[in-house]
Amino acid sequence: MVNQLNKFEEVKRKLYLLILPIIVSALVISLFYNDEYHQFNNTVLPLLAIVYSVSWFFVYRRKWFQYVELLNVALISVIHLLKVYDIVYYDMVIGKNIATGNATLWTPLVFALIIVSIKGKIGVVYSFALWCLTVTIGFIYWNDIPNYANESLIQYFLSNLVYFIFLFFSRHIISAYTKAEMLEKIAYEDSLTEISNRRKVYLLLDEAIEMKKEFSVVFFDLDHFKRINDEHGHLVGDKVLIEVSSLVQGILKDTDHFGRWGGEEFIILTFNRNKKESIDLAERLRKKIEAHHFPEVDNVTASFGIAVSHNKDTAESIINRVDEALYVAKSSGRNQVRFN
């Protein structure tokens, strides 16, 4: 059975699809260069390569994603502890080596996998417990390790702790940033069309006026929109609003700001355009909407009002002027552009 993944899990899935082949490649390369007498690597590396390859297959097929993830966390934790034991006892105690070896370069991946896979306090406690066990292995054989290797082992333990702390706080920073971004999106984005809402437009207006920028305001609404809702239902009406938003965004420049004023009313703040260019823009938009075929409702038209900013304008004064221009367009027969 294929699991339905939420957005966070889908991001993790894509991450695993990218990094697992790299890890498998690294394991195969290690096997190729491995000393034939190193029993630990000869046993563990092929096992890991097989497990990660099978894991990639299940992740790709979206099968048992959570179970595969937790299995890999458990496996990598056990392998990590066994490798630490191998380094401390066989390399340092028996082999009298001074360094912890290349395998320790992959240690950050262990803590990264745990922090990403296990949410909340459980992940933190699990990571810290794993670090404590790592340190414990070192201290069990501390007196048997050559003095010149002590510093290398201490640096390894401390770097593990730094990795764990850094990853823990990185996740919290990302989470806080995401929440802040989501709150801003809720506050300033129209939930239906995903363009700016009235609150955001007012902020942009105040900012433009305060900085004494020259701009035009294009205000338009869809003609007889209530009839669409009454005859076809609000879901169809919502689809029309979304489609109109998409049409308009396809014509606007990056310097233009597009927002939903409310209901079927939309507003555009356009910079770097004079009066004639602003009128031309409105005409292009009007013709684009009129010519477009909307499923279920066929044709839709829109009426436009335009106003250019003055030195003494406030947000309210220019909105009043453009609203008056829109009123003239609608009272004069609709589906036309008027300037005030």
By annotation, the residues acting in catalysis are: 264
Sheet containing strand 302-308, edge to edge, reads 257-262, 265-271, 215-222, 302-308, 337-339
What's the gap between Cα 67 and its chain centre?
Answer: 24
- Nearest-10 Cα torsion for 273, 274, 275, 276: -80
Residue/partner pairs of 327-332 with CB below 8 Å, 24 or more apart = 329/303, 329/304, 329/305, 330/221, 330/223, 330/303
Q: How many Å apart are CA 219 and CA 53, to the nearest integer?
A: 57
Q: 106 — alpha (psi -120 to 50), left (phi > 0) or beta? A: alpha
For residue 152, give every residue at least 6 positions away whose Cβ sits within 8 Å of its Cβ, in sequence order, or none.
98, 99, 100
Tokens 């390894």 sit at which residue?
A: 156
Note the maximum CA span of the chain: 96
Instruction: Centre a 10 Å sphere on the Cβ of residue 67 and count the other Cβ atoms it contains.
Output: 11
Using alpha carbons, list the distances in angstroms from residue 257 to 193, 206, 253, 270, 339. Answer: 14, 13, 8, 6, 19
